[in-house]
Amino acid sequence: MSQLLDPDDTTPLLRDDASSDDSQDGDYRSRWRSIRVMYFTMFLSSVGFTIVITSLWPYLQKIDDSANASFLGWVVAAYSLGQMVASPIFGLWSNCRPRREPLVCSIFINLSANIYYAYTYLPKSNNKFHILMARAFVGFGAGNVAVVRSYVAGATSLKERTSAMANMSACQALGFILGPALQAFLSFIGEQGFTVEFIKLQFNMYTAPALLAAAFGIINILLVILVLREHRVDDHGRHIQSINYTSEDRVGINEDINEEETIDQVAVLTSNVLFFVVMFIFAIFETIATPLSMDMFAWTRKEAVFYNGIIICGIGFESIIVFLIVKVASQRVGDRPVLLAGLAIIFCGFFILLPWGNHYPKIQWADIRNNSLRSQISEAMIASNSSVEPTGCPYEQTWCQYTPAIHLGQYITSDILIGVGYPACNVMSYTLYSKIIGPKPQGVYMGWLTASGSGARTLGPVFVSQVYTILGPRWAFSIICGMLVMAIIFLSSTYRRLIAFSVRYGRAVE
C-alpha cells in the first residue's frame, strides 16, 4: 500500500507515537492502551497452549496407565479442535455485543479449564479423558483470538494495521517461547511437590504450569474490565465514535458504508485458503521435527527433545526479528509481495529437505542381520543391553532401507528458512484479510480465519504422521512442496483482488 499517512507514522508496541499530531489526545491514548491489552491476551493464548505441552505426555502416563501415544495425539489436537469450534461463536458475539463480553467469558472458560486440568488426577478412573476435556476447553477459551484480531483490525488505520498485526504476532511468538521456558523452570518443583490438603490440590511440576496459566487469566480479565475500551477508526485513522451497541449507535457506526459496497468474497476465500496452507504446513513442521531428527541423526529421545527445543527457541527469536522486518518491508513493497516471498521461502525450506546422495540412515538393530545371528546372542547379553535405547530409523519403516539420509546441514538450513517464511506469511495473511474486509464488523470473518488455522493445526499432524511413517520423507516433503507451488499459483491468479476494501471502492489509493 502507498503511504496514506506520514511515512514516519508508526504503531508502537510499548509506547505512544510521539510524532503523531494527536499523541496527547485522550482517545488516542485509550485506543493504544486497549490494543496493548489485546497484545497481552494474544500472548497468554499462546502461553496457554505451550506451557503444559512438554509435560503433557509424562502427566498422562503418571495418572492413567492406559494412555498411549495415539491418545496423546488426540489430547494435543483437542486444543485446536476446541479453538476451531469457538472462534466463529466468539466472533459473532463480538459483532453483536461489546467485545469485553466474549473476551471475559472466553478467558474465564480458559481459566476454569486450566484449574480442571490441575485436578484431573482426582477421579478414580478415566483420568485421560478428563485431560482430553480440559485441553479441549482450554482451546475453546483460546477461540477469543478471533475477537482480538477483529478488535485490532477495527481500531487501526490501514497505515497502522500491518505494524499492529506484526506486534501482535511478535507477542504470540514470545508466548510460544516463554511457555516451554516457564514449564522448564517449574519442573524444579518435582513430580511429588506438595499437597494443599484443604483444597485437595497436588502442587507439582505437572499442575503448576496450568495453575500459573489460570493466574495469568485472572490478570487478563482485570485488564479487560478496567482498561479495555471500545474504539473504531476508519481506514484513514479517523476516530469514528464510542460504541454502545444500541440500535441507534450501530446505524451511526456504519453510516459511511455504502450498502452497495460489498466485501470481495473471492478475496476472502483466497485468504482463508492461504492461511490454512500456511498453518497446515507449519503444524507439519512442528510435528515432524522430533521423529525426523531421531530417524536421520540417530538421536536419543533426550537428545531430540533438547536439540529441537533449542532449535524451536531459536526459530521463535528469529520470528520476532522477522515480524519487525516485515513492518518495514510491507511499507516499502506492499503486503502481497511479502506474502508471496514468504511462501517462496517456505518452499525452499522444504525443498532443501528432500533426501539425496548415497548416505543412508542408521537402522535400529541393523547389526542383527538374521534370525540365526539373533539366536546366537546370549540371554545375558540381551538382558545387559535391555536398558540401552535403540537409535536410528526403525526397521518397521521400510523406506529407511532405500531412502538417503537427510544431512544435519540440510535440516538446520531448512529450519532457518522456514523460520523466516512462516512468520512473514502468518502476519501478512490476516493483515491482508482484515484490509479486504474493511470497515464492516470483522468478528465472524476473523472467527472463520482462526477456525481455518485451527483446522489446519488439527489435520496437519495426522497427515504427516501417516505419510511420513508409511512413505518416508521424500514423499512427505514432495507433497508439501507441491502444495506450496499450488498456493503460490493460487495467490498469483487472485493477486489483483487482494486489495483493501477502501482501495477497491476508490476511497484510498494503492
16-20, 208-212, 325-329, 360-364, range with greatest mean pLDDT:
208-212
- Contact at 8 Å (CB) between 276 and 449? no
Q: What are phi and psi of 217, to 5 degrees?
A: -60, -40
Q: Find the distance separating the first CA and the last CA of the chain, reported in whole Å.
A: 5
Once rounded to an integer, what is the mean pLDDT over residues 288-317? 78
Comparison of pLDDT for 303 and 137, the residue scoring more: 137
Residue 100's SS3 state is helix
Of all helices (H) and strands (E), which one includes residue 189?
none
Same fold, 22-256 and 261-366+390-510: yes
Averaged pLDDT score across all residues of the chain: 79
- Contact at 8 Å (CB) between 473 and 403? yes
Which residue, 487, 509, 488, 492, is CA-closest to 500? 509
115-124, 289-298, 473-482: least confidently modelled range: 289-298
- Contact at 8 Å (CB) between 48 and 55? no
What is the residue whose three cell numbers read 481455518?
452
Once rounded to an integer, what is the mean pLDDT over residues 51-76? 77
Residue 202's SS3 state is strand
* Amino acid (one-letter) located at 209: P
* Amino acid (one-letter) located at 199: I
Say what the pLDDT of residue 383 is.
41
Once rounded to an integer, what is the mean pLDDT over residues 46-72? 78
* Amino acid (one-letter) located at 71: F
> Rounded to whole angstroms, how far apart are CA atoms 162 and 477?
31
Residue 195's SS3 state is strand
The half-sphere exposure of 445 on its side-chain side, counting CA atoms within 13 A, is 26
- Dig out the grid coordinates for 90 from the structure: 466468539
Residue 87's SS3 state is helix
- Dig out the grid coordinates for 501 from the structure: 476494501
> Rounded to whole angstroms, how far apart are CA atoms 430 and 345?
19
260 — pLDDT class (breaks 50, 70, 90): low
Say what the pLDDT of residue 506 is.
64
24 — pLDDT class (breaks 50, 70, 90): very low
Of all helices (H) and strands (E), which one includes residue 311?
helix 301-333
Q: What are phi and psi of 196, to 5 degrees?
A: -95, 100
Q: Where are the domains of the chain?
A: 22-256, 261-366+390-510
CA distance to 200, 302, 365, 370, 381, per residue, from 384 (Å)? 43, 21, 15, 20, 5
- Contact at 8 Å (CB) between 27 and 231? yes
Name every residue whose Cβ is closer than 8 Å to that of residue 345 and which is 6 or more positions away in sequence. Answer: 417, 418, 420, 421, 424
Name every residue whose Cβ is closer than 8 Å to that of residue 53 and which is 6 or more positions away in sequence. Answer: 76, 179, 180, 183
| From the candidate CATH numbers 1.20.1250.20, 3.40.920.10, 2.60.40.10, 2.40.30.10, the one assigned to the domain spanning 261-366+390-510 | 1.20.1250.20
Comparison of pLDDT for 47 and 413, the residue scoring more: 413
Task: Indicate the CATH number for domain 22-256.
Answer: 1.20.1250.20
* Amino acid (one-letter) located at 213: A
Cα 507 → chain centroid: 34
What is the residue whose three cell numbers read 496437519?
460
Say what the pLDDT of residue 377 is.
42
Say what the pLDDT of residue 491 is.
93
- Contact at 8 Å (CB) between 151 and 38? yes
Comparison of pLDDT for 7 and 178, the residue scoring more: 178
> Rounded to whole angstroms, how far apart are CA atoms 241 and 458?
40
106 — pLDDT class (breaks 50, 70, 90): very high
> Rounded to whole angstroms, how far apart are CA atoms 355 and 414?
12
Residue 203's SS3 state is strand
Sign of CA dihedral 65, 69, 74, 80: positive
> Rounded to whole angstroms, how far apart are CA atoms 147 and 87?
8
Say what the pLDDT of residue 259 is.
52
> Rounded to whole angstroms, how far apart are CA atoms 173 and 318?
10
- Dig out the grid coordinates for 247 from the structure: 440500535
- pLDDT over 50 at 329, yes or no: yes
Say what the pLDDT of residue 401 is.
84
Residues 474-503 have pLDDT tens digits of 898 999 999 999 999 999 999 888 887 777
Sign of CA dihedral 361, 365, 368, 370: negative
- Contact at 8 Å (CB) between 295 and 353? no
> Rounded to whole angstroms, how far apart are CA atoms 430 and 150?
10
Which residue, 11, 41, 272, is CA-closest to 149? 41
Comparison of pLDDT for 245 and 97, the residue scoring more: 97
Once rounded to an integer, what is the mean pLDDT over residues 260-269? 80
